[in-house]
Structure 1
Amino acid sequence: MKQFNERINYILYARKSSEEDNRQMLSLDSQEGELKKIAERDNLEIIKIFREARSAKEPYNRPIFSEMVKMIEAGKANGILCWKLDRLSRNAVEEGIIKHLLQKNKIKIIRTPDRDYRPEDNALIASVEFGMANQYIRDLSVNVKRGLISKAESGLFPNFAPLGYLNNPLDPKGRKQIIKDPERFDLVRKMFDLVLSEYRTPVEVWRIAHNDWKMKNPKGKLISRSTTYRILTNTLYSGIFEFPVGSGNWHKGKHEAVITIEEYDKIQIILGKKGKPRPHNHIFAFTGLMKCGSCGATITAEQKIKRQKNGNIHQYTYYHCTKKLNPNCIEKYIEEKILIKQIVNKIDKISISPEFHAWGLDWLKKDILKNISLKNKIINSREKQIAEIEKQSSELLNLLLRKIISEEDYQNKKSELAKEKAKLEITGNNNNDKIQLLFEKTAEYFDLAKDAKNEFLNGDINKRKCIVTKLGSNPSISERIFSICIKKALLPFENISKEIKGIYDRLEPTKITINSRELNKLYAKNLILRRGWDLNPRAP
């Protein structure tokens, strides 16, 4: 280490962001202890020890840091001993103060366990390390926001629980759910009932809760008028919430709802739609899946609510082009009920009966596992690939001998080819496994053809989206007609479905009761049912 004759008066500076030990790798005591060992080892003179439990994220937030800077500017100290540079600053302003004192020779040296920083050193080194500390804070902010968004996406409300709920103290930090407040949950429900059944105004609801029920918040204060209005217009009580607020991203909460979404809608209508309207995009099954058949823009949806004079409320959902690509797009809306019927018709075309599903899989398994042609194709494909690799290896050697490529390039490429050849030789003995995988994949399509219709009609929103996605690609709506490119693997089921329905149609007029054994014989006699799918696809 380079020696300097000038006397250095060190300030030992230890800092952590919080008094909680688990928030920092080293506590203040640990930092001070380690730095004192360095001072004793290198015979450093420490004239002052500063300890500070403050965040360095924002400038001018650390009085002890400011006192240290004043001592240095007054010439009482000219060296700093600290654990890392990020102990001195995590913001650009105070980073500039330290760098300025260093460059003006007010600070002769900053010592850390890892390295020293001096005025004559390249300023870029310190700038990079300070920049990393500053970036850490920025990344931390981003990560916190990302964590809150992730929490919201998983259905956990990432904020303080509103009146009627409590943040569960037993859940781990970052995963706390909101649970029913046993003291106030039912009272909040009564507040909604006052509007739903008695058509009370928010002010009247507040007066009843405030004067008659003596309803208080967890801090013991009587409920306010503004709190009452926020409750009546807060979608969280219906089981859904927006996060971040104003982002348009809506999430279905895991908490128990006070009211249903339908009840929330009705309350907003009763309030004259002055309350916060319920979000729409989160409840629709097919938004984000379909495109406009005319202009290619995304298909969106909206809900219309009609209230009759007798008090009945009817809801209608319509899908239509967003017109973001072409404001003059002429495509009209389609009601959800009609859209669902059209999708069911598409599914119906590839549907098979449970009886055929059982027979088909049994027949397919016997056929596919014994299919010599398929095995030969797989083997031939592998042998051709190995032969091609051997040919490339030979050509590669010729290039080396002719000095067209270097020895290094030759060895690298030779290694790649040898590795690929070894993989093919190892997997070459797994043909039966590949055939088994092929059967399992085909069985998945059989399951889809059997179950898709029932799961679509009786499933939730996510299930319906999943079925449409499995059905095919490029779903669109044009002239109020739904269309989709059915997956190639499902196309044979269109003919199979027709044949199965034909068999049942022929049996129906005769009213013949037929057992599964006889039915299987009918399936076996039908060439389309036996060869309705491709048993010889390309080798995996």
Structure 2
Amino acid sequence: MPNYFLYARKSTDVEDKQILSIESQLAELRELAKRENLNIVTEFIEKRSAKIPGRPIFNEMMKKIQAGEAQGIVCWKIDRLSRNPVDSGKIQWLLQQGIIQHIQTHSQSHYPNDNVLMMSVELGMANEYVRQLSENTARGLKHKAREGYFPGLAPLGYINNPQTKKISIHHKNAKTIKKLFEIYATGNSTIEKLTEVLEKNGIKTKKNCRVNISRITFILGNPIYYGHFRYAKEIYEGKHEPIITKELFDRVNTILRRRGRKPDQKSDPRPLCELMSCGSCGMGITGEKKKKKLANGTIRHYVYYHCTKKSKTQKCFELGIREEELDNQLSSLLTQYTMPTEWAEMLGEKLDLEEKQSVTSVQKEIQELKNELEDISQNLSRLTDVYVAQDIERADYLERRRSLMSNKKSLEEKIMQITKTPTMWIEPTREWIKDSQILDEISKTADLPSKKLSLQKIFGSNLILKGREASGNPFSHYAELRSARENLGKKDATLIVVRVGGIEPPSQPWEGRILPLDHTRI
């Protein structure tokens, strides 16, 4: 009497949505075997899809059949055994060779001498069903993405809404995500510290472990948090509620790119690290602790700052500099951008006046931004036409689309900010005046982190160290302030700031400078 293996399979995929549960299959097949007097020696239960080869339980069963432990298979339907041509061919071959002598399903039997056409058609239909289902699913998800709805599992800070089939804000986690971006944007935190922030707010992995560094890095680089999302390597405009602004996202990612590989927290003193780059090779400047034993046995500790020398294309010969000497140079730089008190007072009065007059002047600027936005939309449309016509490689298309989408989002955000607050540049300008006034005071302290923060506001990432000398190109408003001090001196307080460049909406030719009071607008 031949032996039989009972095989029951059901996956969590859509393809098996209508199939009986494992328990139901087992009950039906046991009853079938009893009714047909089939000797079941082993039951095999598998909870994986059959659309790709490599199912471990199925392969184990096939090996046992080839070893002669059983001569037949009992299953609910033939598509339980296979939905791919590789496994289908194996089953048909073993059946034709008589190694499998009988396959019994709930509705029919298959024997070696049967016409193989019917089984081929049945297995082929199972495979084609999976292919069509995969294509239809992919097409549906891509259409959902084009409509602006994220077609996947909601990232941290969002939840999948089962009613709307869209993602919604998870208010508690969203606040934590926003906090991560804001902390890292200061430039005074590390990825490791952000993992602690998540842990303190009760956010851990499914295994109740701390979220790892790579996951934090992925979160900080995910455009879904400012309103766009990636799907199938393309960037789409989302209709979900953003958690952060595009401007905050860009600031964070600028810091991520500048830092690159994370330095060793245990050996790196870090007070002035990630502030400058090497003026010769462009690599970062890092700090390193050194110690020296004097003749009398005393050990002195020093901190040297030097190029990381990580360039793969250029050999760097720049030497290091003692922290004390670098501190003196940076303090001297800060004093050059200090705003005299009398200037600050007069500028404050001028800002009050400008605030009253500027509401109508932004309309032209908004229209210019809208024109730029229209140009980007047209470029996106033309880019798609070129890609459809196969005149451009997919990789090039994706990169250009990503860049255009990023610029589009930045412009939309800027227009929205200007529309809501026509005088939004006023407060940042007042903050700039306030910061500029205390630079001289900060330069006289030993507070290196405060000096670093002030220098980043002045130079951004444009501060270099070359020939053991620190120098850099400041932002335009700080450059104008320094120029005014050099050319006019402290005795001349008749100055006015007209919209600090880089903070406010796009300016007129006369804007973004420190100007004499008798300057006439053109």
TM value normalised by structure 2: 0.44
Please identify the structure whose Cα radius of gyration is greater. Answer: 1
TM value normalised by structure 1: 0.43
